[in-house]
Amino acid sequence: MSALEQAISTYRQAVDALEDAAKKDEIYAAGLHALTVRDQIASALDGEAQPVPSNLKKLVQNDHRLTALATKIDSTLGRQTLKDWRRTRNPDDKLWWWKLDEVAAAAPSWNNRCSTFFAIVFLTASVALAADTFNTVRSLGANPVSTIGTLLQGVLALIAASAFTESGRKVLVEKFSHPRFGKREFKGWGRAVLGLIVLALVAVAWYSLPAVAAGYFRRQGAEFSNRGLTQQATASYEQAVSLQPLVVETRLALAKAEEQGGENSKAIEEYKSAIALSERLGAAELNDSYYDAKVRLARLYILEQNYRNALLLLNEVQDKIGLVSPAKRKDQLYFVLTYSGWANLELKHLDEAQSELNAAIGQKESGAPAHYLLGSTLQELKQDGAATEQWKRFIQILQQFPAQKSDVQMEWISIAQEQLTKGTQS
């Protein structure tokens, strides 16, 4: 048996012993013995001009076994022990077996596998949330909130993904390491933590972006509405409702915009949705806006000649008028009585109409609609002189308070003026 064959046999036995070793001192002795024997093999190889292929095959097999045991040696003895061996031996750089600590560091341990798994999960979730946000906002058209929010999520996902490449980690180290906290390598659990942070930020954006975008469209809708651009206001409120369908105030704003734009059928459906949503959400949403929506819906019912449903709604509000805030109660009662009088006028319940409209004027003498409707009621009752006085007061109020023109039908003004002209001529 040649010296090389004998050394390889001893090497195999040393690796066997290392595999079987369980205690720290046993691993220490078996590991150091295996490395020393491997040095002998290296010397024997230098002395043979042409090694036998079968010997080289056995050597490669045992080298693989020793490499596989690097993690065991490193985790049991500690990296510093391996460094101490190397410093004492001072081997040539070509003798790789003295660098088993570096082999262990590069090996995909269970710890590394777990950290990589979680990093991938966090990155995948971040990308999925970013994609979901993009799908949510892409139908809204160009707007700064959606654009900035989507770009921010994309950048965050890119940061997390960059930790999986060497060049990306280099950039992260340069940009995010600080001398006070030490140099970060963004490997292993560091990479997983980065992925978790990015996921948290993306999740916050995913959760809050629809609300922020809806707020943007609500403000835009209010601005358009104040400028009289009802079509644009309606479009903005529709975008806000699509983002936050369970916000009552947004649905009410949309209904009012549709009402102002003359889209009565759409406004009716939106008011009904807002009222139903308020009732489903509970007592907290049964506020002034809830009762105002019912009164506005009743007005639209009257315009659509659905007088009985209008009266049902108005009676419900009147029965619960005490639940309206004191600041709004008198004004709300005025509209309830006015619209009730209007519906009864259309139904030819003239005595009821007169009583309710007089009560409405008692709540708010400067309310133009009540005076016009009372004039029409008195005309039906053949009290032409009293009717003329009501129409005259109606015109005076509109001249004094032009904003009330939004509360009346435009034909009422021409009818009242025509009746007053007839009265003057007669």
pLDDT for the residue 350: 96
Phi, psi of 108 (to 5 degrees): -80, 85
**Token code pair at residue 223:** 């601005």
What string of DSSP letters covers 156-213?
HHHHHHHTTSHHHHHHHHHHH-BTTTB-----HHHHHHHHHHHHHHHHHHHHHHHHHH
What string of DSSP letters covers 342-404?
HHHHHTT-HHHHHHHHHHHHHH-TT-HHHHHHHHHHHHHTT-HHHHHHHHHHHHHHHHH-GGG
**Token code pair at residue 332:** 């709300």
419 burial (CB, 10 Å; 0-12 / 13-18 / 19+) is buried
User: What class, spelled out in words, does domain 261-425 have in CATH?
Assistant: mainly alpha
Residue 60's closest CA among 38, 82, 86? Answer: 38
pLDDT for the residue 72: 85
User: Could you report the average pLDDT of every consecutive run of 10 residues in the chain (426 residues)?
Assistant: 84 92 91 91 80 87 90 82 87 87 70 70 76 65 56 60 54 50 53 77 77 87 91 92 89 93 94 92 84 95 95 95 93 96 96 96 95 96 94 95 91 93 68
What's the gap between Cα 147 and its chain centre? 14
**Contacts for 262 with CB less than 8 Å, ≥ 6 apart:** none
pLDDT for the residue 1: 62
The whole-angstrom separation of Cα 78 and Cα 89 is 17
pLDDT for the residue 205: 74
What's the gap between Cα 51 and its chain centre? 69
Residue 241's closest CA among 203, 210, 278, 208? Answer: 210
The whole-angstrom separation of Cα 352 and Cα 344 is 7
CA atoms within 13 A on the CB side of 177: 13
Residue 297's closest CA among 325, 323, 322, 278? Answer: 278
3-state helix, strand, coil in the chain (%, to 5): 85, 0, 15
3-class SS of residue 30:
helix
The whole-angstrom separation of Cα 339 and Cα 348 is 14
Q: Are 350 and 381 in contact (CB under 8 A)?
A: yes
pLDDT for the residue 49: 65
**Contacts for 220 with CB less than 8 Å, ≥ 6 apart:** 236
The whole-angstrom separation of Cα 268 and Cα 237 is 16
pTM check: above 0.85: no
Name the one residue in this structure whose structure tokens are 């400067």: 366
